[in-house]
Amino acid sequence: MPFNTAQVINLGKAPTASDVILKFIRDSIADGSLDEGEPIRQDDVARLFNVSKIPVREALKRLEAEGLVEFHRNKGAIVTSLSEPEIAQIFEVRAILETNALKLSIPHMTEETFKEALGYCDAFADETDVARWSELNWRFHSRLYEDARRPFLINTIRSVNDRLERYLRVQLTLSHGQQTADREHRQILEACRKRDEEAAAELLYAHIMSACQSLLQHLPAKAPG
């Protein structure tokens, strides 16, 4: 019997239960629903999705590799808590990786690159939903790196950004940083249009590290001990 290939679903690309749970937990950490140091109860998550604990454990192990959760004896998985020096170091890594990706990408950028990046830039500037800011911010940045044709590098950058997403939301909200970020995005994009790799990289590095400084100024003080 011949198959109707138009009706075939590529199950290799369909999200698994572990994928769905991972996204749910990652989003909950990013939007603050799950706070630093808060335990993630596997039984509760399994019940919520009507699955066994196996895909929950798989998702948590992947989130551990991303640095978003850690396992403690007698406590299970808890949301990772980062100190200010750790946050600063992660921002530094992000700046180094992203400026290199941008330099590799600029020689291969096309008008389509600039058009799509500008579209994300405009959407970010017009967005009033805080929950969407970090997503649109990532879409703008990642579009500038895609032409580097370095998927492993881009995936590494994404992993670093995932660790910082909850803090970026804090920074953009408390510092009213949306307008500043929009202005700096447009400056970076203009340097890319001019094929000025060094200027674009310098602007990007300053953009990332100034966001770090702004965040650290607005983070609530942590209780000692």
Walk me through the domains of the chain, giving residue ranges and CATH numbers: 17-79 (1.10.10.10), 84-218 (1.20.120.530)
Q: What pLDDT, in 10s, does the model give residues 168-194?
A: 777 777 667 788 999 999 999 999 999
Alpha carbon 212 to chain centroid distance? 14
pLDDT above 70: residue 11: no
**Global pTM?**
0.75
Per-residue model confidence (pLDDT) at position 76: 87
Counting every residue written for the chain, the total comes to: 225
Greatest CA separation for the chain: 70
Evaluate whether 138 touches 158 at the Cβ level (below 8 Å). Answer: yes
Angle among Cα 127, 132, 134 to the nearest 5 degrees reads 110
> What number is the average pLDDT over the span 71-94?
89
Amino acid 174: pLDDT: 66
**Lowest-confidence pick of 122-126, 160-164, 208-212:** 160-164
Decide: helix, strand or coil at residue 31.
Answer: coil
Give the model's pLDDT for residue 220.
61
Q: What is the pLDDT of residue 112?
A: 98
Pick from 93-107, 124-138, 167-181: least confident = 167-181
Of 184, 214, 202, nearest in space to 84 by CA: 214
